[in-house]
Structure 1
């Protein structure tokens, strides 16, 4: 097990924030092309894309959803989702690394405290990256007992004699934290509830342990993070009011769906490359060349259908949540959650099927590690295990038949702050 203090990225080759969205998109897409080129080898070697993640920040990637009044690009949700799918196509680790950052940005867009909002959105515009630290390994059994899916938080904040607030505790699934400048951590609020605080990711009291041993998404930094007397930043309590958290369950799932769509696109593109490169076919094939084999071509056609299915479901879910943001009604947020859940079920089925069927387009050589085709199934399967899809058909059915709307997990345990 390797224990490492926060990584300090190398200076960016293209430092300096872009002035316009068009300029940012050019730079972002050039960096995504670099990420795509090395994604397969990084999966084998375990190398983390620190420098390229930092270059994305320098190119304005983190500013995409920041309102214009704070210097951001203020893109709508469908536009953001489309760019996250592009990132997932390049390297699905990258979209997940940034998931905590964009979740924090969504909270800040609706933050009630103007000083908190202004402070952190300004940091994001300057290129700061947020990581995530919510789940705790000690809460797994207790979460089942609590009924809210979270369990008690053992990460606490203590106040010193001078009034400084210090965070101590341990987190797991701390995705993106080792790439970040700041971490949004879930802590006990001292009243039996939960709150989010912002702490510096590179403080000496923050230790990142690279112990994520999942079958996929291996370069997301989703391991253990230990906090020992880490100070809460000024204006560091975010999302205290429920209004800032509305729609967040749907948003975080849609980020995963965008990532899965990116994987589906990679599956199609890389499988086509495999077919074009084949020099022989099976004895039962109807053609001597794979590019003329009707059965192989049908596999590619099926993969394309799965990709288009996933893309359509993602677009629908993103549009529903964007409409909920515009409406602001609880009914609209519930509808968005239900439609996101439906998309989750359909996207996962389509992408996992595509990632499995892809091997039918090639011979046994496609199973070799150097072809890198297996990483798509592993990454998709790992993403599909978040916010378990097994419960979603029942949630959808209960809403459609009985009008029982799902309750947001982000509202649970927030003392004195009820859903409006």
Structure 2
């Protein structure tokens, strides 16, 4: 799809020298990988590791070069997140809300507020996420409120699944204004008494994403940090899915790395095997080869699916509403197709890796099961069965996919 002439080509993040950008972070990724299994075993949150990334400017890689960022494209961001996920799949998911907020600012109209956000990102500020409410909340309702008290705006409410917020400087809070009933994003500074956070996520995978509860009690928010939800970038659901695709693919790469290492060093063999060394056994080589092929396909699919979101981002600055609407729809459909395929590829790979080893592979010390647990947890976001239907409806009936996903009780 060709794009119309852009209003603001100088400030768009259309891509950079990927190897040059990645080279800045690969030594950090290697340090992160060294302690991943231990953090998993002890459920130690990666505060130090997130700090390394912040200091190195990882959170500003999508910010345009003119503002001090790296200006990478969305396919390049997915590649970079895959590399990080191979080191520790929890980290890109913990930063999912941050990169979504950055993306929203990239799509915002030029303003002093947007420029200030770019400045914060380059300085290392990280944004967390707090959207989901649990309990008796009905679909479409928002319990968290923004109101004016004593001349200042405050936020009150409780959010669960607030991924990454425990590591953040700001939290992207989905709320409703008391004065006009408008749904907004409130960018709340966490460095205040009105914000409390708890690491109470109890999932069996992705244990150290910091996806717990955030409570806001008269948490102050500046008026300029109240963003009309309707103005959010339109391909946001596709973008959130892209990060999960990077997580899944990184899990696959880590599983391939670990199973190759385990096979290479294994000395015990089965009497009914095919070679005096496990590493020379043709059937074992076949298992690892198939895993490698699946991971290769997953990575290619993830990067390809991000191209549609990049086109949607660039179409935002054209003067063609129809072209932008089509680009947004294709971004959603492409991310959904990739989700269906990649989830199957990686879940199969993280199960079948055990076919290349004996019962000793199930040792808690090796933590090989974490790959399946993490993949299963990431793949459980945004149920696959609904995405498959939406893709089918698009291809059969040209039905535009939904752009906002919500969960809650049925309205009475």
TM-score (norm 2): 0.89
What stretches of structure 2 of length at least 5 have no aligned partner? 1-16, 317-323, 408-412
State the Cα RMSD in Å.
1.9
| Counterpart Cα distance in 1 of 2:284 and 2:343 | 23
* 2:213 match: 224
What pairs up with 1:327-346 in 2 under 5 angstroms?
A: 327-328=315-316, 329-346=324-341
Task: Give 1:164's aligned residue.
Answer: 152
Tell me whether 1:396 sits opposite 2:395 in the alignment: no
Q: Separation in 2 of the partners of 1:159 and 1:61? A: 35
**Per-residue deviation, 1:411:** 11
**Secondary structure in 2 aligned to 1:370?**
coil
CA contact (8 A) 2:195 2:217 kept: yes
Q: Which residue does 1:269 correspond to in 2?
A: 257
Work out which of the residue numbers 94, 106, 111 in structure 2 matches 1:109. Answer: 106
Aligned equivalent of 1:310: 298
Q: CA deviation at 1:316?
A: 1.4
What pairs up with 1:2-401 in 2 under 5 angstroms? 25-112=22-109, 114-138=111-135, 142-143=138-139, 151-161=140-150, 163-190=151-178, 191-233=180-222, 235-238=224-227, 240-242=229-231, 244-328=232-316, 329-401=324-396
Per the alignment, do residues 76 and 411 of structure 1 end up closer, same or farther by CA in structure 2, a change over 3 Å counting?
Answer: farther
SS in 1 for 2:365: helix
CA–CA distance in structure 2, aligned partners of residues 212 and 98 of structure 1: 16
Q: Is the CA contact 2:75–2:304 (under 8 Å) kept in the aligned structure 1?
A: no
Task: Kindly indicate whether the alpha-carbon contact (under 8 Å) linking 2:242 and 2:335 is maintained by their aligned counterparts in 1.
Answer: yes
CA distance in 1, matches of 2:22, 2:238: 25
Deviations 1:20-51 (A, max 9, x none): 99886444221111110110110010111101
Displacement of 1:115: 2.8
SS of residue paired to 2:216: strand
Alpha-carbon deviation of 1:234?
Answer: 5.2
Counterpart contact for 2:132–2:160, Cα < 8 Å: yes
CA contact (8 A) 2:147 2:177 kept: no
- Decide whether the 8 Å contact of 1:21 with 1:73 is kept in 2: no
The count of residues paired between Structure 1 and Structure 2 equals 383
Unpaired runs of at least 5, structure 1: 1-19, 144-150, 413-420
Alpha-carbon deviations, 1:183-203, whole Å to 9, x = none?
111111233342101111131
TM-score, structure 1 normalization: 0.87
| Structure 2 counterpart of 1:4 | none
In the alignment, is the contact (CA less than 8 A) between 1:200 and 1:233 conserved in 2? no
Q: Distance in 2 between matches of 1:31 and 1:359?
A: 29
Q: Deviation string for 1:247-285 (max 9, x for gaps)?
A: 111111001101111111111110001101211122321
Deviation, 1:410, is: 6.9
CA–CA distance in 2 between the matches of 1:186 and 1:222?
16
SS at match of 1:245: coil
Q: What's the offset of the Cα at 1:52?
A: 1.4
User: What secondary structure, in the 3-state scheme, does the structure 1 residue paired with 2:209 have?
Assistant: coil
- CA shift in 2, pair 1:314/1:24, >3 Å: closer
Alpha-carbon shift at residue 326 of structure 1 (Å)? 2.7
